[in-house]
Amino acid sequence: MSSNKSALTLRAALIASFLSLFLLASTSYIALKIGAAPWPVIFSVVVSGGLLKLLDRGRKTDIHEVNVAQAGASIGGLVAAGVSFTIPGIIFLQQAGQTDLQIPDLLPLSLLCVGAAVLGILLAIPMKATFVDEEQLPYPAGTAGAELLKLGKTGGRELRLITALGASAALFALLRDVYFPAGFALSFLVPAGIFITLLPMPLAIGSGYILGPRASFSWMGGAAVGWLIIVPLLVNNGMAAATAPVWVQNLGMGMVLGSGVGFFLSYVVPRIKRIFGPFFDARSNGKWWISLAVLPAVAILLWTGVPPLAVFITLAGTWMMVAVAARMTGETNINPLEQFGIFVGLLVSLAYALMPGEIPMAAVFMVVVFVSVACAVAGDAGHDFKSAVIIGTSFRDVVRVDLITAVVSGAAAPVILGVIFSAFQSQLFSDIMPAPQARMVAGSISGFAFPLVFWSGFALALVGEFINSRLPGKWQNLFLIMPFGIGLFLGVGLALPIALGAWIRMRVEGKYPNLYGSILLMAAGVMGGEGIAGFAAGALTIAGLNYAQGAAILGGIFGLILLLALIRKPGQS
């Protein structure tokens, strides 16, 4: 199926831009709330297709136009991951009293995000010929989105399902945050050294369903080991109750970073020719575009305070990490983007440690942000390229819409984060908004409370990833180290609803496999609904309303949306 007519219409570009901002806001909230940002492809396919069908009023909707709109829309979710996993680390250091570092001004930070997102897309272009066309890497999220498009599941019943579940989740979240915002602490367990706060989060259940049993149960395993075994042992052996959780969190952060580096080394080295070959392939497209994009990137990095040598290392590191991110995403559907940023940030710090003088901490943060955003967007671009090949959509149209929404969402990202920071300042880095990746970024730059514990976790995970890579195929990845480390860090309260979501998926796949896709749409709707409700409530708080007033207004809006979604017009299925 191919198209000679351009599918990049004005309405496709507008829908893509609108949805990219929606996903930017909702995913930023989700990423800080649960420490994960699942791929937004399914959500963008259904909603963009549904909106185009509404505009067509019964006429046949062009599948390529839907493909273009959803491809651009999903960029916003990945830009959100890139900034939400990194920039809040500055606030964490401020709260810890470790620095008087300030978040950069809005304009340079917006330009930094735009430059990184655009460069990520342009660097992904030469890799399409090898990763998508020749090797036909699966890019699972992109393939799943394309299959939905081919089946025509992009409107009607599917859109109503996502809308109804999203509105219901939003209403629940608003009521929860008014009446029991801190969850339910099991205080009777505290004398035993067990600290558990139950967090009723629909979006966490949806995340668990999307992540699947292996990742979610590994996450739960880390939480159980850390908070039901290690923390009580530490407390009962004399460690202060406030210190023991920090010890376990440092261990978890070490395991997360060690897993990322171990996976990187065990994955990249055997595939180094395949990963970096596309950049030296004469058939590759877009090299002159990359050259043009590098010049603004240099200027932006210099403007944000990154010194010249660090700029060179950053751009070289971005080139390498984007290639690895695109390949890893294509094969595994995993993109540890903030760890790529940390890796390049550590290289920059090491280079300056070997020279006279120091590099400012703010500059290292900007390096990590730039690399993380570029890697995030490059991974999503791979999904977009894959779906375009399956559907037969013009590659040029997909690249163009991705560039448009990269500019739109990149420019808006610091504004969105600023709203969240202002509205949820008291919750940020607490149990109900832990932002674990940002804490890890901050620790990698400023140091950890228990460095020996951190590096022990790092070494343990590094060795574990090498062992895993050498196991027979059927034994690989039965236990996932990175989610285990996240569970150590975040505790049992968040792990429980995530494990519940995974259990639901396991039951569905085992007994009702025909319902898997419908419940996947429900999970995507729940996450989008709670995410946008949380962000919108925060925005109204900044506008001068107290949280209860804002929640009441939004409750009326989401209640109306739910009612409209449940009403069927004659002839609708």
DSSP letter string over 404-417?
A: HHHHHHHHHHHHHH
Beta-bridge partners for 430: 433
What percent of the chain clears pLDDT 90, i.e. is strictly above it? 45
Mean residue pLDDT of the chain comes to 87
Of the listed ranges 279-283, 402-406, 541-545, the least confidently predicted one is: 279-283
Tens digit of pLDDT for each residue in 153-171?
Answer: 555 677 788 888 889 999 9
C-alpha span between 489 and 223 (Å, rounded): 7
Beta strands in 138-263 (DSSP E): 184-185, 197-198
The closest of 211, 199, 200 to 524, measured between CA atoms, is 211
Tens digit of pLDDT for each residue in 103-148?
Answer: 889 999 999 999 999 999 998 888 888 788 887 888 878 888 888 7
pLDDT at position 275 is 67
Tens digit of pLDDT for each residue in 485-522?
Answer: 989 988 898 899 999 999 999 999 999 998 888 888 88
8 A C-beta contact, residue 104 and residue 278? no
pLDDT at position 515 is 86
Q: Which amino acid is at 321?
A: M
Helix (H) or strand (E) holding 342: helix 337-353
C-alpha span between 40 and 479 (Å, rounded): 25
**Does residue 274 have a pLDDT over 90?**
no
DSSP string, 220-256: HHHHHIIIIIIHHHHHHTT--TTTHHHHHHHHHHHHH
Mean pLDDT of 426-454: 88
C-alpha span between 110 and 61 (Å, rounded): 35
β-pairing, 197-198 vs 184-185, is antiparallel
Both tokens of 71, joined, read 């491809």
CA dihedral 493, 498, 504, 508 (to 10 degrees): -170
Please indicate whether residue 275 or residue 263 has the higher confidence score (pLDDT).
263
Helix (H) or strand (E) holding 511: helix 492-511
Assign 285 a pLDDT band (cuts: 50, 70, 90): low
**Does residue 22 have a pLDDT over 90?**
yes
C-alpha span between 142 and 330 (Å, rounded): 9
496 SS3 class = helix
Provide the 10 A C-beta neighbour count for residue 544: 8
The closest of 118, 38, 130 to 531, measured between CA atoms, is 38
**Does residue 340 have a pLDDT over 50?**
yes
pLDDT at position 220 is 96
What percent of the chain clears pLDDT 70, i.e. is strictly above it? 93
**Does residue 188 have a pLDDT over 80?**
yes
pLDDT at position 509 is 92
pLDDT at position 1 is 47
**Does residue 351 have a pLDDT over 70?**
yes
Assign 205 a pLDDT band (cuts: 50, 70, 90): very high
C-alpha span between 376 and 275 (Å, rounded): 17
Q: Helices 337-353 and 308-332, interaxial angle, to 10°? A: 150
Q: How far is CA 52 from CA 2, 48, 67, 142, in A?
A: 19, 6, 11, 20
The per-type count for the chain, helices as H runs and strands as E runs, is 23, 2
CA 104 to chain centre: 22
**Does residue 271 have a pLDDT over 80?**
no
Q: What is the pTM of this model?
A: 0.87
Mean pLDDT of 366-373: 96
